[in-house]
C-alpha cells in the first residue's frame, strides 16, 4: 500500500497563478484533510472532507478550494497564489472515528 500520495513535492509559483495540489489515498479512508505548516504555528487545517461529495472549511480556508468526487482523491486548488501562501502543505487521511492520521510527505510551495 502506498498510503497517502502527494504531488508535486516542490513547486514555485508567481503571484496570481493558479495550481492544484494532488492527494490520493489507497486505504479507503472516509476522512481527508489539508493542512499547512508554517514555522512556529504548527499545522493549521485548511479544508476537510468526511466522504465523497462532502467538504467543509477549516481554520484557514481563504484562497483555497477543494472537491471530493471520489473516496481516493482530494485535490487542493489555489485560485490566485499569494506570497502568504508560501508554506508546506500536507494531506492526511483517517477512518471516521479512527484516532490517527496518515500523512503524505508534503508539498513545499513557494510563491514569488
Q: Which chain residues interact with another protein by CB under 8 A?
A: 4, 31, 33, 35, 40-45, 48, 50, 58, 90, 92, 96, 99-106
Concatenated DSSP letters of 55-71? EEE-SS-TTEEE--SSS
* Complex with another protein: residue 5 or 17, whichever CB lies closer: 5
Closest approach, Cβ 32 to another protein, in A, equals 11
* Complex with another protein: residue 85 or 107, whichever CB lies closer: 107
Closest approach, Cβ 35 to another protein, in A, equals 7
Closest approach, Cβ 105 to another protein, in A, equals 5
* Cβ proximity of 43 and 37 under 8 Å: yes
Helices (H), the chain: none
* Complex with another protein: residue 16 or 53, whichever CB lies closer: 53
* Complex with another protein: residue 16 or 51, whichever CB lies closer: 51
Nine cell digits for residue 10: 516542490
Closest approach, Cβ 97 to another protein, in A, equals 10
Q: How far apart are CA 17 and CA 36, in angstroms?
A: 19
Nine cell digits for residue 80: 490566485
* Cβ proximity of 73 and 55 under 8 Å: no
Amino acid at each position: 500500500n502506498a498510503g497517502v500520495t502527494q504531488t508535486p513535492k516542490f513547486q514555485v509559483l508567481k503571484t496570481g497563478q493558479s495550481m492544484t495540489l494532488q492527494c490520493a489515498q489507497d486505504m479507503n479512508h472516509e476522512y481527508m484533510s489539508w493542512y499547512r505548516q508554517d514555522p512556529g504555528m504548527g499545522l493549521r487545517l485548511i479544508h476537510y472532507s468526511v466522504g465523497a461529495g462532502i467538504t467543509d472549511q477549516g481554520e484557514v480556508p481563504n484562497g483555497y478550494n477543494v472537491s471530493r468526487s471520489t473516496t481516493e482523491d482530494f485535490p487542493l486548488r489555489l485560485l490566485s497564489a499569494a506570497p502568504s501562501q508560501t508554506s508546506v502543505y500536507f494531506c492526511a487521511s483517517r477512518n471516521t472515528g479512527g484516532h490517527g492520521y496518515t500523512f503524505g510527505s508534503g508539498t513545499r510551495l513557494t510563491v514569488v
